[in-house]
Chain A
């Protein structure tokens, strides 16, 4: 029907597919989290007109996806679905920023178009990095890693519970919507009173279910902490990975490899 059920299926698989494959599975989730965060900080620290500087950074999500054995087409689909807001705001740049920045074969290119291109690149880079991180680690392990990095325990537990319940309740909401659509006919609208009743019943069933499950968890010895897979110790591979990432990002940020590459090539041709 729409993109929502598709995203929902991804959501369900991402939560449950804890078996990590690929070389990324040998790394500590904390190293991946910190590396991704350093990457995103590097991306957003570039100047607003930086297009050339951002290009080599595209290699990071590509390599991470390869390390974690993730289909690139899936990542691309996620990126395309994401961030209409950033693009919408970015589309105003050519309108408001009309200084000519460079000329390409005689065609003047304004700062607005360059910064719009930079925003598109930022969207691709940041979204791809986040998507690849979650797909390579999985939400349960990600929560453990975040808690070990200082996330409050109440929030870590909340995230894990939310993910478990969301799969169930999301399915229920999708079935309710489908049931209403099937009964209401082609022009059937969901009026406010029907909406309140539908969603209200969903809420009542959800709280009832939550309380029953909580009772069952207490009966089995729940002490405010969900059992998770034992976390591995930090090893030297993780340090090497993280330091390598940071060094590469610093190099990309400070050394400007792209204009240098262009200059070298031009000199070679002349």
Chain B
């Protein structure tokens, strides 16, 4: 599922851009060094294929719903992780730009959830070791099981990413635990279907053109070697990156009082927790109080006697004041009318110019 701009905060969005950008830079250096010259041609056409294949759905027996190919795992199996990540980046960019699926700021998060998690984590850490254990000629059933397992785990990682990014951004009020309970089972089913589709396709390719599968064709030892020699350093690097990102995210999340904290407060009935004392928190509150468009609301917790943050709360979170909120509403209505008038005027001008 694609993360949307509307649910992201700037810090999380930019942080995920940086994380994905590093992975992308590494991948594109690897691809430019790759000696397989037909890789460029194969990458372009396979990206387009992933798109086209998403238009064809197969029926899931007994449910009436349908599933389709996910893409990331198939690309990793056909191209190897670095090239697969670049293809995924291009697919996601086109989805974001031309189909408005996801968004420009969310592109970094989406590439991490759908590309990095599958191509650079699930494929080298689950698929490759399991396949190596099965020997050079795994049976159809073994291969299917490995592919489905990898697809499911990769997508679970991605769904976890979506949940954590949404939660850290603090735009949605969904508590973390509820969101996890919603997302992970849904993506278990989706991952299962994607795994089934990918496995069916890989088995078909193995029968028809096994030379396209570097992992599974004995004739292609060299290419298989390239895929197999996936450096351990990358895994270490990625894990470190993920840890740093998670640390940075949780730091920012702790600055932003978010849905989880609020729901805890409401559930426990406790007044403001002692979070408002650290310096960055104070600064964030000050900035928020200065810039908030609805400065005239107060969380119930802040109205309750909270001795520690009383001085802080007074300027930052004034009590509800009918006067200012009326001004805000009147201003909003007037602004909306002005903007609508602008849009209508521009549209009318365009229509009139079109007519000869």
Which A residues have a C-beta under 8 Å from some C-beta of B? Answer: 4, 7-8, 10-11, 14-15, 36-37, 40-41, 43-56, 58-59, 62-63, 65-66, 69, 71-73, 78-79, 81-83, 85-86, 89-90, 92-93, 95-99, 101-104, 111-112, 114-115, 118-120, 122-123, 126-127, 129-131, 133-134, 139, 142, 152-155, 157-159, 161-166, 168-170, 172-174, 176-177, 189-200, 202-204, 206-207, 209-211, 213-214, 217, 224, 253-254, 256-263, 265-266
Partner of A10, one of B98, B201, B203: B98
Number of interface residues of B (CB under 8 A): 110
Partner of B293, one of A47, A120, A177: A47
CB distance from A100 to the nearest CB of B (A): 8
A214 in contact with B40 given A37-B104, A58-B339, A170-B51 (CB within 8 Å)? yes
A213, B350: Cβ atoms closer than 8 Å:
no
Known: A11-B94, A97-B173, A111-B173. 12 other contacts (CB 8 A): A8-B55, A37-B104, A50-B294, A52-B335, A97-B259, A112-B173, A126-B104, A158-B89, A159-B93, A192-B197, A199-B69, A202-B49
A261, B94: Cβ atoms closer than 8 Å:
no
Partner of A206, one of B27, B48, B103, B196: B48
A261 in contact with B293 given A165-B45, A211-B42 (CB within 8 Å)? no
Asked if B137 is at the interface (CB within 8 A of a chain A CB), the reply is: no
A209 in contact with B55 given A154-B31, A155-B28 (CB within 8 Å)? no
The residues of B that contact A207 with a CB separation of less than 8 Å are 42, 45-46, 209, 212
The residues of A that contact B43 with a CB separation of less than 8 Å are 158, 161
B336, A55: Cβ atoms closer than 8 Å:
yes
CB distance from B98 to the nearest CB of A (A): 5
The residues of A that contact B32 with a CB separation of less than 8 Å are 153-154
A261, B334: Cβ atoms closer than 8 Å:
yes
How many angstroms between the C-alpha atoms of A53 and B90 in the bound complex?
34
Q: Report the stretch among B120-128, B268-276, B320-328 that lies at the interface.
A: B320-328
The residues of B that contact A199 with a CB separation of less than 8 Å are 53, 56, 69, 197, 201
Q: Which 8 A-B residue pairings sit nearest by Cβ, starting from the closest?
A: A161-B44, A262-B331, A210-B45, A214-B41, A53-B293, A165-B48, A195-B58, A122-B6
How many angstroms between the C-alpha atoms of A211 and B178 in the bound complex?
48
Asked if B10 is at the interface (CB within 8 A of a chain A CB), the reply is: yes
The residues of A that contact B9 with a CB separation of less than 8 Å are 44-45
Which residue of chain A is the closest to B29 with respect to CB atoms? A152
How many angstroms between the C-alpha atoms of A103 and B47 in the bound complex?
52
Asked if B240 is at the interface (CB within 8 A of a chain A CB), the reply is: no
How many angstroms between the C-alpha atoms of A41 and B320 in the bound complex?
29
CB distance from A34 to the nearest CB of B (A): 11
B6, A83: Cβ atoms closer than 8 Å:
yes
Candidate in B51, B87, B297, B326 with the most chain A CB atoms within 10 angstroms:
B51
Candidate in A37, A48, A203 with the most chain B CB atoms within 10 angstroms:
A203
The residues of B that contact A259 with a CB separation of less than 8 Å are 293, 324, 327-328, 331
A40 in contact with B5 given A55-B339, A262-B326 (CB within 8 Å)? yes
B97, A142: Cβ atoms closer than 8 Å:
yes
Asked if B166 is at the interface (CB within 8 A of a chain A CB), the reply is: yes
Partner of B327, one of A63, A126, A152, A266: A266
A102 in contact with B325 given A155-B86, A158-B43 (CB within 8 Å)? yes
A258, B328: Cβ atoms closer than 8 Å:
yes
The residues of B that contact A139 with a CB separation of less than 8 Å are 94, 97-98
Partner of A169, one of B1, B8, B52, B175: B52
Partner of A49, one of B2, B294, B342: B294
How many angstroms between the C-alpha atoms of A51 and B294 in the bound complex?
8
A192, B4: Cβ atoms closer than 8 Å:
no
Those of B133-189 within 8 Å (CB) of chain A: 166, 170-175, 178-179
Those of B1-59 within 8 Å (CB) of chain A: 1-10, 13-14, 24-25, 27-28, 31-32, 38, 40-49, 51-53, 55-59
The residues of B that contact A85 with a CB separation of less than 8 Å are 1-4
The residues of A that contact B242 with a CB separation of less than 8 Å are none
How many angstroms between the C-alpha atoms of A217 and B44 in the bound complex?
13
Which residue of chain B is the closest to A196 with respect to CB atoms? B200
Q: Give me 16 A-to-B residue pairs in the complex whose CB atoms sit less than 8 angstroms apart, sorted by A's number.
A: A7-B99, A10-B98, A44-B105, A59-B339, A98-B266, A103-B320, A115-B173, A127-B100, A133-B104, A134-B97, A152-B24, A168-B48, A189-B59, A190-B59, A191-B58, A262-B328
How many angstroms between the C-alpha atoms of A267 and B314 in the bound complex?
26
Which residue of chain A is the closest to B331 with respect to CB atoms? A262
The residues of A that contact B1 with a CB separation of less than 8 Å are 85
CB distance from B277 to the nearest CB of A (A): 21
Asked if B329 is at the interface (CB within 8 A of a chain A CB), the reply is: yes
CB distance from B206 to the nearest CB of A (A): 10
A202, B53: Cβ atoms closer than 8 Å:
yes
CB distance from B191 to the nearest CB of A (A): 16
CB distance from B50 to the nearest CB of A (A): 9
The residues of B that contact A194 with a CB separation of less than 8 Å are 58
A102 in contact with B293 given A126-B104, A196-B201 (CB within 8 Å)? no
Partner of A126, one of B40, B89, B103, B347: B103
The residues of B that contact A129 with a CB separation of less than 8 Å are 104
The residues of A that contact B332 with a CB separation of less than 8 Å are 51-52, 55, 258, 262
How many angstroms between the C-alpha atoms of A165 and B232 in the bound complex?
35
Candidate in B48, B66, B87 with the most chain A CB atoms within 10 angstroms:
B48
Partner of A44, one of B13, B178, B292, B320: B13
